[in-house]
Amino acid sequence: MTRAVSLAAAIFTALAGGGFGLADELRPYQIAGGAIAVSLTGTPGDAARGRAIVVNRTVGLCLLCHSGPFPEERFQGNLAPDLTGSGARWSVGELRLRMVDSHKLNADTIMPAYYAVDGLNRVAPAFRGKPLLTAEQIEDVVAFLATLRGQ
């Protein structure tokens, strides 16, 4: 019985595609000094995985609005700042807060909160209750952005 339920949950999660089921909850975090100092997962992310998320236009979505040091990627957006040098401009904790919920820094920013499910309107059923990225994905992206130290 329990196995059937967990199997169903696994299938549901797989179908939902985000790796984040409705039953999952966002991990708690603390904002201090314009940053989230502690990793959401308790461990550092993987920069190589983070890069893959950043350039993936249906997962990270970053290049829809941002451009950056991705010479192989055509058609990068310019609605938002260039990601080049992000790791030099911001600390890891500052990058984490910018990914988790940029609205905490600027209520009017067009940067979506990548790790929030509350306060949204008319979210399509397939995405309801799910953040844009999981805690693991956020950490991977933060780890990658921290490597962007060039000019």
Partner 1 sequence: MTGSLPRCLIVAIALAACVASANGGDIPLDQRRSGYADLGRDTKAMQDDDTSNPATLWVLDGEALWNQKAGSANRACAECHGDATASMKGVAARYPAFDAVQKSPIDLEQRINLCRTERQNATPFAFESHELLALTAFIGRQSRGMPIVSTDEKLKPAIEAGRKLFMQRIGQIDMSCAQCHDDNWGKHLTSSLVPQGHPTGYPIYRLEWQNLGSLQRRLRNCMIGMRAEPFDYGAPEAVALEAYLMWRARGLPVETPAVRP
Number of shown-chain residues binding partner 1 (CB under 8 A): 24
CB contact at 8 A, 93 and 99:
no
Window of 8-16, 26-34, 56-64, 135-143 that interacts with partner 1 by CB under 8 A: 56-64
Residue 58 makes contact with partner 1 by CB under 8 A: no
Residue 98 makes contact with partner 1 by CB under 8 A: no
Quote the CA–CA distance of 151 and 138 in Å, as a whole number.
Answer: 23
Residue 17 makes contact with partner 1 by CB under 8 A: no
Residues 117-136 that bind partner 1 (CB under 8 A): 120-127, 130, 132
What tokens were used for 38? 């502690």
Residue among 118, 141, 113 at smallest CA distance from 49: 141
Write down the residue that tokens 């040091």 correspond to.
Answer: 69
Question: Which CB atom, from 34 or from 77, has the smaller least distance to partner 1?
Answer: 77
Residue among 18, 39, 50 at smallest CA distance from 130: 18
| Residues near partner 1, by CB under 8 A | 57, 61, 63-65, 74-79, 110, 112-113, 120-127, 130, 132
